């Protein structure tokens, strides 16, 4: 019974957070992946008030639940969620990922501290056990269960017995008709987010003494909550609550009754929510069309602005090297070669090491260009795939004595097989379903697969330093990474200009129309996912070579969220976005570390997270805005001004002058 009570405590937390996710999705159609980050914000302030300033737990709880919770809900609705309600589902998804990256980084900047193992609860000496019906329990555990029951009961009563609940159901089922009858959808949406954030704040305070104050832990908890919400199809609060308590019980019982020394079962308990999430996705519980009368035009991404094509100059009479198109490409190649030489030879060992790490990230980030940029697949397990490639290559090279190159090829092959399986299994899901599947796989690897020493050594894998052409290791790494990036980028650009590229353009634009034209949509997505996994694995191996090793802590799911935020901020279409994203991720972090500015080293993460949130305004990334701005400037310079046109003298034809 001890394990049952512990499972009920965990289930209570999952039930509260799952209720919050269900409420906002059913009301606004937005799947909030930032619920864990919001909980982290509340717990961080609660810890700051209680532990660092000595406030009583009950007073700090009142401030956090009734003050910070509603204020945070309204602020996020006004600044972010209100603009997302009619956006594309992928845009909503990525924007909430950006929030999950930015919010913890903001709190770490404002209230810096190390990872806290246990935060004080709302009850004084709440961790001191006592006997209840023969069980050893703590006041904090009892408070979590009682608080969950009261909170969920209050929400159910509010939605079923008040005019707010009636208005909410009307907005959910028929928003246009509800608006025509005087119901304000914006007000209902704002109130729903305020109520949801208050629930998150309550759940955060109740679970504060039960979960370490670590952003990665809260990210995993947020994803685990999706299993409970998905069991209720993001609609039914009763099923969501039942799912939360059921997941908590299952995890506690498996962990408690696992045979001592059995590593497979001992580590399986924390992975149960993610296994359930995968199963629910595969049996089709993905209700991602929450509103019936919102037109399709309301959920499409912003299309690029079309510009009239400039007339092609006649190049037939010019020498080959002097033709504008050839000369432009030649100048661009020379500029890139000079930039590569500057990265390799122009800086000291510290900055060259940062460039080595950044170019390895650039290779890894090319995988997003294949999956998201070409196939329209949002893959959120690239960190895990990169880890699989690095771990497999490391084990082949160290444990089996393979030469480095065959070991790298073997690691990439293993990762591609994993990507093939994930892509094949998830090919029948919609975009959001496949994205959730990749998230579940990433956290499943964190919680279970990467903890098995039969698969990954306890300390990770290590690689020896290498040298090319007599260069030092840092310069050798930069040269190798840039060469690999150049080859992969050239292949991708060449394929994009061929028939295959046009087929994937049709897949991105309208999969239904593409399938009617004979395109094998599922097969194309599986192929793109497999190739993307291979590139991610190759980037992971290169990153491990630069770092001379890789451990599971380097590629947790929260790290993968940061990578997604960085790439989509700059743009996943093309090769410039991944190249600059990798360099910025490494160089900005190193630059702030050199400043010794204390808490300010989290600023790059904040910027990248907020950049992903800005995707709601410009889904194609920052570089597309730069391109449009430059094109507008060129058009303005190419057009003669009106005043100049009027000042030109009018010359009459010679015939008219002769007639005069």
Q: Is residue 310 part of a domain?
A: no
Assigned token pair, 593: 């570390």
Q: Which of 61-75, 177-191, 553-567, 607-621 has the highest mean pLDDT?
A: 61-75
pLDDT at 287 over 60: no
Residues 372, 277, single domain; the answer is: no
Torsion of CA 484, 486, 487, 489, to 10 degrees: 120
Residues 86, 172, single domain; the answer is: yes
Pairwise CA distance, residues 514 & 416, whole Å? 26
Inter-residue long-range contacts of 229-232, CB under 8 Å, 24+ positions, other chains counted: 229/18, 229/21, 229/22, 229/25, 230/277, 230/280, 230/281, 230/285, 230/286, 230/436, 231/276, 231/280, 231/285, 232/18, 232/22
Residues 486, 396, single domain; the answer is: yes
As a whole number, mean pLDDT of residues 516-541 equals: 88
Q: Is residue 605 part of a domain?
A: no
- Taking the CA atoms of 355, 361, 364 and 367 in sequence, report the sign of the dihedral they define: negative
Least confident of 184-193, 299-308, 411-420, 457-466: 299-308
Confidence of residue 301 (pLDDT cuts 50, 70, 90): very low
Pairwise CA distance, residues 421 & 417, whole Å? 6
Residues 18, 111, single domain; the answer is: yes
Q: Is residue 151 part of a domain?
A: yes
Task: Tell me how far apart the terminal alpha carbons of the chain are, to the nearest angstrom.
Answer: 114
Q: Is residue 44 part of a domain?
A: yes
Structural domain ending residue among the three candidates 557, 587, 608: 557
CA distances from 435 to 56, 122, 380, 504 (A): 42, 37, 6, 19
Q: Which of 31-45, 502-516, 571-585 has the highest mean pLDDT?
A: 31-45
Assigned token pair, 344: 């390799």
Count of domains in the chain? 2
Residues 276, 365, single domain; the answer is: no
* More confident call, 228 vs 621: 228
Structural domain ending residue among the three candidates 247, 263, 290: 290
Give the pLDDT confidence score for residue 139 in this predicted structure: 80
Pairwise CA distance, residues 570 & 506, whole Å? 23
Residues 282, 390, single domain; the answer is: no
Structural domain ending residue among the three candidates 504, 528, 557: 557
Q: Is residue 611 part of a domain?
A: no
As a whole number, mean pLDDT of residues 55-76 equals: 92
As a whole number, mean pLDDT of residues 574-580 equals: 87
Residue 512 burial (CB < 10 Å; 0-12/13-18/19+)?
exposed
Please state, as a whole number, how many other Cβ atoms lie within 10 Å of the Cβ of residue 220: 23
pLDDT tens, position by position, 81-94: 888 877 777 788 88
Q: What is the DSSP letter of 485?
A: H
Q: Which of 102-116, 391-405, 631-645 has the highest mean pLDDT?
A: 391-405
As a whole number, mean pLDDT of residues 124-139 equals: 74
As a whole number, mean pLDDT of residues 227-234 equals: 82
pLDDT at 192 over 80: yes
As a whole number, mean pLDDT of residues 454-465 equals: 84
pLDDT at 174 over 80: no
Q: Is residue 313 part of a domain?
A: no
Cα 139 off chain centre by: 36
At 459, which helix (H) or strand (E)? none
Pairwise CA distance, residues 543 & 555, whole Å? 11
pLDDT tens, position by position, 135-157: 777 888 888 888 888 888 888 88
At 86, which helix (H) or strand (E)? none
Angle ∠(269,274,277) on CA atoms, nearest 5: 135
Pairwise CA distance, residues 621 & 625, whole Å? 7
What does pLDDT average to over the chain? 80
Assigned token pair, 289: 């069309």
pLDDT at 333 over 70: no
Give the pLDDT confidence score for residue 256 in this predicted structure: 75
Domain hosting 423: range is: 349-557
Residues 223, 147, single domain; the answer is: yes
As a whole number, mean pLDDT of residues 179-200 equals: 84
Q: What is the DSSP letter of 259?
A: P
Pairwise CA distance, residues 3 & 436, whole Å? 29
Pairwise CA distance, residues 337 & 359, whole Å? 15
Q: Is residue 309 part of a domain?
A: no
Residues 385, 484, single domain; the answer is: yes
pLDDT tens, position by position, 366-420: 999 898 888 888 888 899 999 999 999 999 988 788 898 999 999 999 999 999 9
Give the pLDDT confidence score for residue 99 in this predicted structure: 92
pLDDT at 10 over 80: yes
462: helix, strand or coil: strand
Least confident of 168-172, 185-189, 344-348: 168-172
Q: Which of 166-170, 462-466, 532-536 has the highest mean pLDDT?
A: 532-536
Give the pLDDT confidence score for residue 291 in this predicted structure: 43
Residues 432, 537, single domain; the answer is: yes
Length of the chain, please?
A: 660
Pairwise CA distance, residues 375 & 199, whole Å? 37
The CATH number assigned to the domain holding 155 equals 1.10.3470
Pairwise CA distance, residues 538 & 544, whole Å? 10
Pairwise CA distance, residues 23 & 196, whole Å? 7
> Which percentage of the chain shows pLDDT scores above 70?
83
Beta bridge partners of 645: none
Residues 279, 387, single domain; the answer is: no
Pairwise CA distance, residues 179 & 187, whole Å? 11
pLDDT at 332 over 70: no
Give the pLDDT confidence score for residue 542 in this predicted structure: 94
Q: Which residues, in sequence order, are CB contacts of 456 under 8 Å at separation 6+?
A: 391, 449, 450, 552
Residues 22, 118, single domain; the answer is: yes
CB distance 95 to 615 below 8 Å: yes
Give the pLDDT confidence score for residue 607 in this predicted structure: 87
pTM: 0.83
Pairwise CA distance, residues 224 & 230, whole Å? 10
Give the pLDDT confidence score for residue 284 in this predicted structure: 64
Q: Which of 43, 91, 17 is nearest to 615 (CA)?
A: 91
pLDDT at 294 over 50: no
CB distance 476 to 467 below 8 Å: yes
Residue with tokens 């190419």: 638
Pairwise CA distance, residues 116 & 118, whole Å? 6
Please state, as a whole number, how many other Cβ atoms lie within 10 Å of the Cβ of residue 71: 14
Confidence of residue 185 (pLDDT cuts 50, 70, 90): confident
549: helix, strand or coil: strand
CB distance 203 to 224 below 8 Å: no
Count of alpha carbons within 13 angstroms of residue 98, beta-carbon side: 27
Residues 269, 361, single domain; the answer is: no
CB distance 44 to 114 below 8 Å: no
């Amino acid at each position: 019974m001890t394990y049952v009570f512990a499972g009920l405590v965990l289930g209570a937390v999952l039930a509260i957070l799952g209720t919050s996710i269900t409420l906002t999705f059913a009301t606004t159609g937005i799947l909030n992946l930032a619920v864990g980050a919001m909980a982290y914000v509340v717990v961080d302030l609660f810890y700051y008030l209680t532990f660092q300033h000595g406030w009583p737990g009950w007073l700090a709880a009142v401030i956090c639940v009734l003050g910070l919770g509603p204020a945070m809900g309204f602020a996020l609705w006004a600044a972010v969620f209100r603009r997302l309600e009619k956006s594309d589902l992928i845009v909503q998804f990525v924007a909430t990922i950006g929030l999950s990256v930015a919010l913890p980084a903001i709190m770490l900047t404002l209230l810096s501290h190390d990872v806290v193992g246990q935060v004080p609860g709302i009850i004084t000496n709440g961790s001191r056990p006592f006997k209840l019906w023969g069980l050893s329990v703590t006041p904090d555990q009892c408070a979590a269960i009682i608080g969950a029951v009261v909170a969920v009961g209050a929400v159910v009563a509010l939605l079923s017995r008040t005019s707010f609940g009636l208005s909410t159901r009307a907005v959910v089922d028929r928003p246009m008709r509800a608006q025509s009858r005087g119901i304000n959808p914006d007000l209902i949406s704002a109130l729903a987010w305020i109520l949801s954030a208050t629930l998150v704040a309550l759940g955060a305070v109740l679970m504060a003494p039960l979960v370490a104050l670590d952003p990665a832990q809260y990210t995993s908890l947020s994803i685990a909550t999706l299993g409970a919400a998905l069991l209720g199809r993001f609609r039914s609060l009763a099923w969501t609550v039942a799912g939360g308590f059921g997941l908590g019980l299952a995890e506690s019982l498996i962990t408690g009754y696992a045979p001592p020394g059995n590593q497979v079962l001992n580590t399986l308990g924390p992975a149960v929510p993610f296994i359930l999430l995968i199963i629910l996705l595969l049996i089709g519980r993905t209700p991602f069309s929450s509103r019936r009368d919102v037109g399709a035009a309301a959920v499409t991404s912003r299309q690029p602005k079309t510009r009239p094509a400039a007339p092609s100059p006649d190049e037939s009479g010019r020498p080959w090297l002097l033709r504008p198109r050839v000369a432009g490409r030649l100048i661009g190649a020379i500029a890139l070669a000079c930039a590569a030489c500057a990265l390799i030879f122009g800086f000291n060992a510290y900055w060259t090491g940062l460039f080595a790490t950044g170019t390895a990230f650039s290779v890894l980030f090319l995988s997003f260009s294949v999956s998201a940029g070409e196939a329209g697949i949002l893959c959120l397990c690239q960190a895990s795939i990169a880890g699989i490639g690095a771990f497999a290559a490391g084990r082949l090279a160290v444990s089996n004595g393979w030469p480095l190159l065959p070991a790298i090829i073997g690691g990439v092959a293993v990762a591609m097989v994993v990507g093939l399986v994930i892509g094949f299994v998830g090919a029948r899901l919609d975009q959001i379903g496949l994205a959730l599947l990749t998230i579940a796989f990433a956290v499943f690897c964190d919680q279970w697969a990467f903890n098995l020493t039969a698969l990954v050594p306890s300390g990770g894998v290590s690689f020896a330093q290498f040298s090319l052409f007599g260069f030092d290791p840092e310069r050798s790494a930069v040269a190798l990474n840039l060469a690999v990036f150049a080859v992969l980028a050239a292949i991708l650009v060449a394929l994009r200009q061929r028939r295959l590229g046009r087929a994937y353009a049709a897949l991105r634009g309208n999969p239904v129309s593409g399938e009617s034209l004979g395109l094998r949509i599922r097969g194309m997505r599986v192929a793109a996912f497999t190739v993307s996994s291979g590139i991610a694995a190759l980037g992971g191996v290169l990153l491990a070579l630069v770092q001379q090793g890789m451990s599971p802590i380097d590629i947790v799911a929260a790290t993968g969220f940061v990578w997604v935020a960085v790439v989509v901020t700059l743009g996943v279409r093309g090769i410039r976005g991944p190249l600059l994203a990798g360099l910025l991720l490494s160089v900005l972090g190193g630059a702030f570390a050199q400043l010794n500015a204390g808490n300010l080293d989290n600023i790059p993460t904040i910027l990248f997270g907020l950049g992903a949130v800005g995707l709601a305004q410009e889904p194609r990334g920052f570089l597309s805005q730069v391109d449009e701005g430059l094109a507008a400037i060129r058009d303005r310079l190419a057009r003669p001004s009106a005043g100049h046109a009027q000042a030109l003298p009018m010359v009459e034809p010679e015939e008219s002058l002769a007639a005069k």
